[in-house]
Amino acid sequence: MDDGILLVDKPAGMTSFGVVARVRRVLSEKQRKKIKVGHTGTLDPFATGLMIIVVGKECKNASSYSKLDKVYEAVICLGKTSTTGDSEGEINNVSDDTPTQSEIEKALGKFTGETTQRPPIYSAINIGGQRAYKLARAGKYVEMPERQVTVYSLELIDYTYPEIKIRTHVSSGTYIRSLAEDVGKALGTGAYCAKLRRTNIADWSVNQAKSLSDMGIVN
């Protein structure tokens, strides 16, 4: 492939830039020339799921893909918080309270529709020309501006304390880690995103995607 898109199912433990680098190397080796490759929106290293990889001339259209709606499945762990909002940060105990399923559903209902969200400091957002996560890792104070996002649906799939499993359809720019933290605040228990999988970008499904091993790429 010289131009177009590839649908990739990103594994856990790898950065989005790492996926791009591996795909670029394999395509360039197969074509015996340097192939331009980019992504259309990062997935956190701990997350898995669908990435749209743009190749060749299609790289100029990357921003149009990044603006598309997305669907995620996530596991939210109650009673604890994380410095990064996910399982990779420092975990702190907050509460032993056990909300009822009715209380969970009520809390989730507060976050459907248009809502204001503050992205996590450990994110790839540019702050003054630098990635926020780099500033945070350097111990610098990071003021993350709030943004308007839309949560089209937020469905409770399963609840077995301390874990809530949800499926949510959201607008571009929505951070599920921030959503998990906001749910924890609404319940008064604290929470972080323990697992995250992107299943859809617009009409593309992760079921259509190739794993890196399918592409002959070793993690």
- Are the C-beta atoms of 178 and 145 separated by less than 8 Å? no
Q: Is 96 marked active-site? A: no
Enter the pTM of the model: 0.91
* Structure confidence at residue 158 as a pLDDT band (50, 70, 90): very high
Domain boundaries, the chain: 4-66+203-211, 70-201
The burial of 116, by beta-carbon neighbours within 10 Å (0-12 exposed, 13-18 middle, 19 or more buried), is given as exposed
CATH class, range 70-201: alpha beta
pLDDT given for residue 136 in this prediction: 67
Token look-up 């248009």 returns: 114
Residue 41 binned pLDDT confidence (cut-offs 50, 70, 90): confident
Residue 74 has pLDDT above 80, yes or no: yes
> Which of the residues 44, 69, 86, 158 is marked catalytic?
44
169-207 pLDDT, tens digit each = 999 999 999 999 999 999 999 999 999 999 999 999 999
